[in-house]
Amino acid sequence: MATDDDVRRIALALPGAYEHASYGGAPSFRTKPRGFAFLRADIDALAVYVASEEDKLALIASAPDIYFTTPHYDGHPMVLVRLSAVDEAELAEALADSWRLRAPKADVRRLQAER
């Protein structure tokens, strides 16, 4: 089980990441110039980007207890992560993957060089 605080700690550890209020004041996490993760308190979930609609469907099929979607995200390369079901390692991977898709390429290269 993950909490909003876990999301915040993991997201803000990524290069250039910062917290920003969006969608009615809900916390989101951005990297200049784009958002990469959005907390959804109304459904106890985190919305993250994936590479494609196919990747989204594959995640949902592989772990439907963790990954899901709603009609709001139809046609968008985003998946919802159920915080009550995800462990910290899986959450960190989902956040890092989303960040890599949205972050400036120089920041992505810097993170890869550090690891």
pTM of the full structure: 0.93
Mean pLDDT of 64-83: 97
**Nearest one of 61, 62, 67, 59 to 85, comparing CA atoms:** 67
Q: Which residue has the tokens 């951005």?
A: 30
* pLDDT band per the 50, 70, 90 thresholds, residue 115: low
- Strand arrangement, sheet containing 45-49: 17-22, 26-31, 34-40, 45-49, 78-82, 67-68
The residue type found at 70 is T
Q: What is the pLDDT of residues 7-62, one digit of tens each?
A: 999 999 999 999 999 878 889 999 988 999 999 988 899 999 999 999 999 999 99
Instruction: Work out the mean pLDDT of the chain and round it to a whole number.
Output: 93
In the chain the domains, ranked by start, together with CATH numbers, are 4-106 (3.90.1150.30)
What kind and span of H or E run contains 95? helix 88-102
Q: What is the pLDDT of residue 108?
A: 83
**Greater pLDDT, 106 or 51:** 51
Name the β-bridge partners of 106: none
Q: Pinpoint the alpha helices (H) of 1-75.
A: 4-12, 53-62
